[in-house]
Amino acid sequence: MTITTSTSSTQKALDIFWDNKLLSDETITRPPNVLPKHIYERLIGENKPSSIVSGCSVNVSYDVAVKQCEAKIAAIVAECQRNNTNYSDDEFNLDDMEYCLKSLTITELDTVNGGEHTKLRSSKKSMTTRTVITRTGTIKLTATKVREPACVKRISEIFDAPRFFIGHEAHVQDIRQGSEGDCWFISSLGCLTVDEAFPRLINKLCPKKARNEKIGVYGFVFYRDGEWVSEIVDDKLYLTNPNYDDCNDDRRSVWDRSHGRLDPEASRTDYKKTFQTGSDALFFGSCADPNETWVPLIEKAFAKIHGDYDSINGGWPGEGVEDLTGGVTTEFLTADILDKDSFWTEGLLKVGKEFIFNTGTRDYNHPDPYQLGRQGIEDDHAYSVLRALEYQGNRLCLVKNPWGETEWNGPWSDGSKEWTPEALHALDQKFGNEGIFWMPYEDFLDRYNEIWRTRIFHCDWFNWHVAQHWTTVNVPWSGDYNETPFYFTIPVPTTTVIVLSQLDTRYFGGLTGQYTYYLSFHLHTPGQESHIVRGYSSGDRSATTEIFLEAGTYEVFLQITGYRDDTLPKVEEVVKENWLDRRDKLIQIGLKHDMAYAKGVIQENFPKKDKRISLATPITLTTPSTLTPPSTPLPTPALPIPNDEADMAKDVWNASCVVGLKIYTHETIASIGIGKAVDAVMVNISPDLAKKEQGIHQDEKENFSD
């Protein structure tokens, strides 16, 4: 038998194909800058994002965000009082429904039944085969839009006696989901109202000094990409039903016929009282009390900071809790839990103490979702876990449906035979259709497919510290481990939470392009091939693990798997489509995009061979700014490329991902760097850390007492 090397046209074609499609693993492609450089620099001013955060208490970033928020609120209140006006948010004017409801999209011609029509194509992050949890079922992020709100009114026009909090505190029974598909967010919000070791967790989102209900201005803080950020909104909200004069459908006809004997002005007043008054009139989320307002306002601020309401349609509950608390989420598939007893004793029994839990169901693709035989547990839906306890040998979970209705009807459900008078008294149980129900632990694991456990640092706010470092790395087509690891050093033995994250692309929906990334990592002792532990993907943003480590230095090797969906529009296509018709929206989302990617500073001083420059988005590694374009033209090929080869080169694999490693340590501070531990550049711990923290401890204690 003679074996020869193939010289056929097939092999030649394959060689040419791979040469044109794949860049060298040493090539780093800088993510594109959406806005022109001079506009970006003018808008960002002195607020340039940092890629490195030295070891500090987890509360430092929060305190900075709160102080900034309070200062902005004070300035707005003073101006409104001078002008004798309520606050109007020009940056998020709800009357501009296209701006506030819809993410950036492109239009394309599509042919249906031989005719042409225009359809919107979303350019949100591709989920490949994964889906997100929504209210109405499993929806790909390219799902068609739902119906829109009818009108906008201020809180004073909607509520008879509005109050942000009724009774001075939030309660899980207050929360009701609206027409937005954000059960993932609403269920996360519900988890924050049942805390035990960290009371008034909701209050940390909306500091008392960061709102003025008379002026109509409200400030909130959320956690994004390793730091706390603030957002401010006015008191305008969307309503489901239109104004009387604008109602031109059957509702107006029916109303006029049934109220024809009334004085026209009385009929108009009754219409407003019936359709446009109280919490039931709101289109999106609401409070159960007809005069309470904190739920719709937090939801509005969350939508604004992400760009629009469409951006918060669908998601993972664990990521919602992270956004609201700054915690770290680990995802569990119930079918994969090895020791269910340990998961109960070391996990669920600590809900509201060290952890917050969400859970969710999958889409069963049943033709009639109401005939699933799942005893009241909704298909493809997110739930909050409020309590877990043992009563007379029974392991029980208290669960909340964010709809505020539809409950479990199996064992230990409302009215079931298990509820003896003694049990009702012991568990303080009151029956009612509020969407809150008890169920056995065994049924809990059987009915729910995924559980998200979020470690909360607020219970020991000053003793948990975090160090983080962000950079841009190449993502090879093959999905191999990245050659350049992170590393960190801890001075004493401690519990360590390791989080590898990518940017939260929800903040710049429409400008995410065609690539999707999933993260994992291995933790090693330097020089050892076998890993200590692996960090698995938890949702779409992060890979995490929690482990007790001895003092020493450790390396974190990254594995980033990239996918490209060619059916989604490229960033440049979205910019070209929207730069005239939706200029303000493009500037807003483009700035969020460029600021986020600016965190990923490309490292230049690794003791490795020089990296080539990507032909897709050229960079010069010696240039200090990640936003500076190259000063020299690109080299031209020595030989012309045939047309077919040029076509193949158009869509070269040029994936790169901005990732950040965060190391949380208890009662000690880690130092963190990137590269091999023996030669990497270390991120030094701030020498005046103690002084920085000492000055904010008293303020933080005041925040807890609000």
What does the domain layout of the chain look like in residue ranges?
21-57+462-633+640-691, 59-102+145-241+276-317, 328-455
Using pLDDT thresholds of 50, 70 and 90, give the confidence band for residue 106. Answer: confident
Residue 22 amino acid letter: L
Assess whether pLDDT exceeds 70 at residue 600.
Answer: yes
Rounded to a whole number of angstroms, the distance between the first and last alpha carbons of the chain is: 84
Residue-wise pLDDT tens digits, 528-560 = 889 999 998 887 899 999 999 999 999 999 999
Tokens of 279: 């919490």
pLDDT digits (tens, 9 = 90+) for 30-84: 888 999 999 999 998 767 777 777 778 888 999 999 999 999 999 999 999 999 9
- What percent of the chain lies above the pLDDT cut of 70? 79
Q: 362-376, 403-417, 503-517: which range is least confident on average?
A: 362-376
Overall size of the chain counted in residues = 706
Mean pLDDT of the chain: 81
Angle at 323 between CA 318 and CA 325, to 5 degrees: 90
**Structure-block tokens of residue 294:** 């904190």
CA 363-368-374 angle, 5° bins: 60
Q: Residue 517 pairs with which residues in a beta bridge? A: 562
CA distance 618 to 634: 8
**Which is nearest to 657 in space by CA: 533, 541, 499?**
541
The sign one gets for the Cα dihedral 314, 319, 321, 325 is negative
Catalytic pick from 183, 191, 206, 657? Answer: 183
- What are the pLDDT digits (tens) for 429-449? 888 777 899 999 999 999 999
Q: Is 454 exposed, middle or buried (0-12, 13-18, 19+ CB in 10 A)?
A: buried
Conformational region of residue 89, where left means phi above 0, alpha means psi within -120 to 50, and beta covers everything else: beta
Q: Average pLDDT for residues 127-155, to the nearest whole number?
A: 56
Q: How far is CA 98 from the centre of its chain?
A: 22
Measured between alpha carbons, how far is 572 from 628 in angstroms, rounded to an integer?
18
Q: What is the spatial distance between Cα 480 and Cα 559, in angstroms, rounded to a whole number?
A: 6
Residue 482 pLDDT greater than 90, yes or no:
no
pLDDT at 697: 42
Query: Tens of pLDDT along 225-283?
Result: 999 999 999 999 999 999 988 887 777 777 777 776 667 788 888 888 989 999 999 99
Q: Which pLDDT does position 6 carry in this prediction?
A: 59
Q: How far is CA 319 from CA 188, 322, 583, in A?
A: 8, 5, 30
What is the helix (H) or strand (E) element at residue 548, kind and residue range? strand 542-549
Cα–Cα distance, 678 to 553 (Å, whole number): 10
Mean of pLDDT values over 342-351: 93
> What distance in Å separates the CA atoms of residue 595 and residue 65, rounded to the nearest whole number?
17
Mean pLDDT on 134-139: 40
CA 145 to centroid of chain Cα atoms: 20
Q: Coil, strand or helix: which one is 322?
A: helix
Query: pLDDT tier at 646 (50, 70, 90 boundaries)?
Result: low
pLDDT at 261: 67
Q: Give the confidence band of 403 by pLDDT, cuts at 50, 70, 90.
A: confident
Is the pLDDT at 688 greater than 70, yes or no?
Answer: no
Res. 629 pLDDT band, cuts 50 70 90: very low
200 phi-psi bin (left φ>0, alpha ψ -120 to 50, beta other): left
Cα 386–389–392 angle (5° rounding)? 145
Q: From 3.90.70.10, 3.65.10.10, 3.90.1210.10, 2.60.120.200, which CATH number describes the 328-455 domain?
A: 3.90.70.10
Confidence of residue 123 (pLDDT cuts 50, 70, 90): very low
Considering just the CA atoms, what is the radius of gyration of the chain in Å?
27
Angle at 509 between CA 506 and CA 512, to 5 degrees: 95
CA distance linking residue 145 with residue 65, whole number of Å: 34
Q: Are 76 and 232 in contact (CB under 8 A)?
A: yes
Question: What pTM was estimated for this model as a whole?
Answer: 0.84
Residue 121, helix vs strand vs coil: strand
In this structure, what is the dihedral angle of CA atoms 501, 504, 510, 514, given to the nearest 10 degrees? 10
Tokens 């929360």 sit at which residue? 175
Q: What is the pLDDT of residue 138?
A: 32
pLDDT of residue 569 exceeding 70: yes
Q: Which of 31-35, 107-111, 249-253, 480-484 has the highest mean pLDDT?
A: 31-35
508-528 burial string, b = 16+ CB within 10 Å, else e?
bbbbbbbbbbbbbbbbbbeee
Residues 191-208 have a mean pLDDT of 79
Section 565-583 average pLDDT: 94
Residue 170 has a pLDDT of 79
| 267 touches 255 (CB < 8 A) | yes
Q: Is 56 a catalytic residue?
A: no
Structure tokens given for 319: 């990521």
Confidence of residue 287 (pLDDT cuts 50, 70, 90): very high
* Run of H or E residues at 275: helix 264-275
Residue 467 has pLDDT above 70, yes or no: yes
In the set 306, 381, 465, 522, the catalytic residue is 381
pLDDT of residue 630: 33
The yes-or-no verdict on residue 565 having pLDDT over 90 is yes
Please state, in angstroms and rounded to a whole number, the distance separating the CA atoms of residues 311 and 504.
12
Residue 108's pLDDT band, with cuts at 50, 70 and 90, is low
Catalytic residue status for 401: yes
For residue 455, report the phi and psi dihedrals to the nearest 5 degrees. Answer: -75, 130
In the block, residue with structure tokens 């980033």: 560
